[in-house]
C-alpha cells in the first residue's frame, strides 16, 4: 500500500507535535480477492536551523487477506504483518510566500515475507514534492513523485522499478471540512512492464478539535493496464500530541 506525505508533513510541522495516524482500509481485487489493512503511522517532526524541518515517518501495516500466495497457499482468510518502512523527510524553509519543497528517502523492509503479505525484498524510494498554498481560494497544491527500486539486484521476474505520482490538491470547505485528491492511492507506472495503473482517489477530512482529525475516502480504478485493485475504501483517525 502506498501513502502520501505532503499535506500530512505540513500539518505535523504546523502543530509542532507528533502525529499518530490510524488507517483502516478494505481493498477489493479480482475474483473475490480482498484485503483488510490496518496501518498505524507516525510522524515525528524536528525543527532544524535556518527554517528547515526533519520529519521521521514510520509505517507498520498489518493485513488480513484471502489472496493466494507463497505464505497463504490455500487462499483462506489469513492475518499477517506487511512490509514495514521508515521515511526520512527534509522540508525547506519558505522559498517564496506560501511555498515550500520537501524531499525524502523511504526504506522498505521485507517484514511481510513472501506474497501475499510482502515482496520478500528490500526496496528504497526517493521522493520529491512541493507545498504551495493559495489562501484566498482555500487551495493547497502538493504533488508528489516517488520512485521505488528493489535492492540488492533482483531477478528480472521480481525486480521492482515503479514510479508513483500523487496529484494532490486540498480544497478547504466550510465547518472545518476539506476535500483532498489522491491523498493515499496514487497513479503508478510499472517501469518493468511499461504499463500504467490509474485510479481516482478522493478523501473528505473533518477537523474535530485541536488534537483529533477524521478522514473518509475511496479509490476506484480507471485504467487497468497494470491491475493492482478494483477499489479501496478507507478511513483515518489522527491524533496530535
List, for residues 51-88, the tens digit of each pLDDT value. 999 999 999 999 999 999 999 999 899 999 999 999 99
pLDDT at 16: 59
What span, in angstroms and rounded, lies between the C-alpha atoms of 142 and 133?
9
198 domain-assigned: yes
Q: Counting Cβ atoms within 10 Å, is residue 13 exposed (0-12), middle (13-18) or buried (19+)? A: buried
φ, ψ for residue 135, nearest 5 deg: -60, -35
27 domain-assigned: yes
232 domain-assigned: yes
pLDDT at 9: 45
Report the SS3 class of residue 15.
helix
Q: What is the CATH number of the domain that holds 45?
A: 2.40.160.40
Cβ distance 206 to 176 under 8 Å? yes
Q: What residues make up the domain containing 55?
A: 6-240
- For the chain, how many structural domains are there in total? 1
What span, in angstroms and rounded, lies between the C-alpha atoms of 220 and 200?
5
Regions of the chain short of the pLDDT cut 70: 1-16, 153-157
What span, in angstroms and rounded, lies between the C-alpha atoms of 139 and 158?
40
11 domain-assigned: yes
1 domain-assigned: no
pLDDT at 192: 85
139 domain-assigned: yes
13 domain-assigned: yes
Whole-model pTM?
0.90
pLDDT at 128: 98
70 domain-assigned: yes
Where residue 204 falls (left for φ over 0; alpha for ψ -120 to 50; beta otherwise) is: beta
Residues 6+ apart with CB under 8 A from 58: 41, 42, 84, 85, 86, 87
- What mean pLDDT value characterizes the chain? 90
pLDDT at 155: 58
Strand partners, 114: none
What span, in angstroms and rounded, lies between the C-alpha atoms of 18 and 15?
8
pLDDT at 3: 37
Amino acid at each position: 500500500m502506498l501513502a502520501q506525505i505532503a499535506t500530512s508533513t505540513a500539518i505535523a510541522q504546523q502543530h509542532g507535535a507528533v502525529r499518530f495516524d490510524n488507517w483502516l482500509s478494505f481493498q477489493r481485487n479480482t475474483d473475490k480477492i480482498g484485503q483488510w489493512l490496518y496501518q498505524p503511522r507516525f510522524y515525528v517532526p524536528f525543527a532544524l536551523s535556518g527554517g528547515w524541518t526533519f520529519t521521521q515517518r514510520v509505517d507498520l501495516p498489518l493485513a488480513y487477506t484471502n489472496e493466494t500466495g507463497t505464505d497463504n497457499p490455500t487462499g483462506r482468510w489469513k492475518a499477517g504483518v506487511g512490509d514495514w518502512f521508515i521515511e526520512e523527510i527534509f522540508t525547506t524553509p519558505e522559498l517564496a510566500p506560501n511555498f515550500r519543497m520537501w524531499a525524502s528517502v523511504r526504506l522498505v523492509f521485507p517484514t511481510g515475507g513472501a506474497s501475499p503479505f510482502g515482496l520478500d525484498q528490500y526496496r528504497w524510494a526517493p521522493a520529491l514534492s512541493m507545498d504551495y498554498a493559495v489562501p484566498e481560494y482555500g487551495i493547497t497544491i502538493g504533488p508528489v513523485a516517488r520512485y521505488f527500486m528493489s535492492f540488492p539486484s533482483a531477478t528480472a521476474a521480481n525486480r521492482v522499478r515503479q514510479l508513483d505520482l500523487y496529484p494532490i490538491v486540498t480544497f478547504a470547505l466550510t465547518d472545518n471540512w476539506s476535500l483532498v485528491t489522491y491523498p493515499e492511492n496514487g497513479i503508478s507506472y510499472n517501469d518493468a512492464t511499461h504499463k500504467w495503473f490509474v485510479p481516482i482517489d478522493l478523501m473528505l477530512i473533518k477537523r474535530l478539535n485541536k488534537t483529533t482529525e477524521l478522514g473518509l475516502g475511496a479509490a476506484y480504478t480507471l485504467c487497468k493496464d497494470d491491475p493492482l485493485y478494483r477499489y479501496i475504501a478507507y478511513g483515518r483517525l489522527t491524533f496530535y500530541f
